[in-house]
Amino acid sequence: MDLNLQGKTALVSASTAGIGHAIAVQLLEDGANVIINGRGEAGVAQAVAALNQRFGAGRALPLAADMSVAGGERSAAARYPEVDILVNNMGTYALSDFFATPDEEWRRMFEVNVWSGVRLARTYMKGMLERGHGRVIFISSEVALTPMAAMAHYSASKATQLSIARSLAELTRGSRVTVNSVLPGPTETESLQGFIASVNPDLSYAEAERKFMAENRPSSLIHRLAKPHEVANVVAFLASERAAVINGAAIRAEGGTVPTMA
Ligand SMILES: NC(=O)c1ccc[n+]([C@@H]2O[C@H](COP(=O)([O-])OP(=O)(O)OC[C@H]3O[C@@H](n4cnc5c(N)ncnc54)[C@H](OP(=O)(O)O)[C@@H]3O)[C@@H](O)[C@H]2O)c1
Q: What is the pLDDT of residues 98-142, one digit of tens each?
A: 999 999 999 999 999 999 999 999 999 999 999 999 999 999 999
Statement to judge: residues 106 and 218 lie in one domain: no
Distance 14 CA to ligand 1 centre (A): 6
Closest ligand 1 atom, CA of 187? Answer: 3
Rounded to the nearest angstrom, the distance between the alpha carbon of 38 and the centre of ligand 1 is 9
Q: For residue 40, which atom of ligand 1 is closest to its CA?
A: 40
CA separation for the pair 239, 178 (Å, rounded) = 9
pTM over 0.95: yes
Over residues 153-157, mean pLDDT: 98
DSSP 146: S
Q: What is the pLDDT of residue 230?
A: 98
The pLDDT tens digits for 164-214 are 999 999 999 999 999 999 999 999 999 999 999 999 999 999 999 999 999
Ligand 1: residue whose CA is nearest its atom 27: 14
Residues 171 and 216 in one domain: no
Task: Give pLDDT, residue 50.
Answer: 98
Separation of 40 CA from ligand 1 center, angstroms?
14
User: Separation of 123 CA from ligand 1 center, angstroms?
Assistant: 21
Q: Pick the catalytic residue: 80, 93, 154, 205?
A: 154
Which atom of ligand 1 is nearest the CA belonging to 44? 40
What pLDDT shows up at residue 166? Answer: 98
pLDDT for residue 1: 80
Test site for ligand 1: of 26, 36, 88, 187, most ligand atoms within 8 A of the Cβ: 187
CATH of the domain at 112: 3.40.50.720
Task: Give the pLDDT confidence score for residue 116 in this predicted structure.
Answer: 98
Say what the alpha-carbon torsion angle 61, 64, 70, 76 is, to the nearest 10 degrees: -20
Q: What is the DSSP string of 216-239?
A: H-TT-SS-SPBPHHHHHHHHHHHH
Same domain, 88 and 205: no
pLDDT value of position 207: 96
Q: What is the pLDDT of residues 3-50, one digit of tens each?
A: 999 999 999 999 999 999 999 999 999 999 999 999 999 999 999 999
Per-residue model confidence as pLDDT tens digits over 245-258: 999 999 999 999 99
Q: Would you state the pLDDT for residue 219?
A: 96
Whether 141 and 196 map to the same domain: the answer is: no
Q: Looking at the structure, do residues 155 and 202 belong to the same domain, yes or no?
A: no
Give the ligand 1 atom nearest the CA of 143.
Answer: 6
Residue 237 pLDDT: 98
How large is the angle between the packed helices 18-29 and 228-239, nearest 10 degrees? 50
In this predicted structure, what is the pLDDT of residue 196?
Answer: 95
In a domain? residue 211: yes
Residue 205 and residue 111 share a domain:
no
Based on C-alpha coordinates, what's the Rg of the chain?
18
Annotation says 154 is catalytic: yes
Is the same domain home to 168 and 48? yes
Which residue's C-alpha comes closest to atom 46 of ligand 1? 91
Query: pLDDT digit string (tens) for 89-98?
Result: 999 999 999 9
Same domain assignment for residues 118 and 209: no
**Which protein residues are within 6 Å of ligand 1, measured from CB?**
13-20, 37-40, 43, 66-68, 89-91, 93, 139, 141, 184, 186-187, 189, 191-192
**Number of domains comprising the chain:** 2
Q: How far is the CA of 173 from the centre of ligand 1 (A)?
A: 31
In a domain, 261, yes or no: no
In sequence order, the β-bridge partners of residue 38 are 64
**Cα separation, 126 vs 111, whole angstroms:** 22
- What local confidence, expressed as pLDDT, does residue 153 receive? 98
Let me know if residue 58 belongs to a domain. Answer: yes
Beta bridge partners of 103: none
Confidence (pLDDT) at 46: 98
Are residues 205 and 235 both part of a single domain?
A: no
Do residues 193 and 151 both lie within one domain? no
By residue range, what is the domain housing residue 142?
9-186+227-253
User: Does the residue 49 lie in any domain?
Assistant: yes
- Residue closest via CA to ligand 1's atom 45 equals 91
Helices 72-79 and 116-131: crossing angle in degrees, nearest 10, is 30
**Alpha carbon distance 203, 48 (integer Å):** 36
Q: Are residues 21 and 69 in the same domain?
A: yes
For the sheet with 60-64, list strands across it.
Answer: 60-64, 33-38, 9-12, 85-88, 133-139, 176-184, 250-253
Model confidence pLDDT, tens digit, residues 49-80: 999 999 999 999 999 999 999 999 999 999 99
Residue 40 lies in a domain: yes
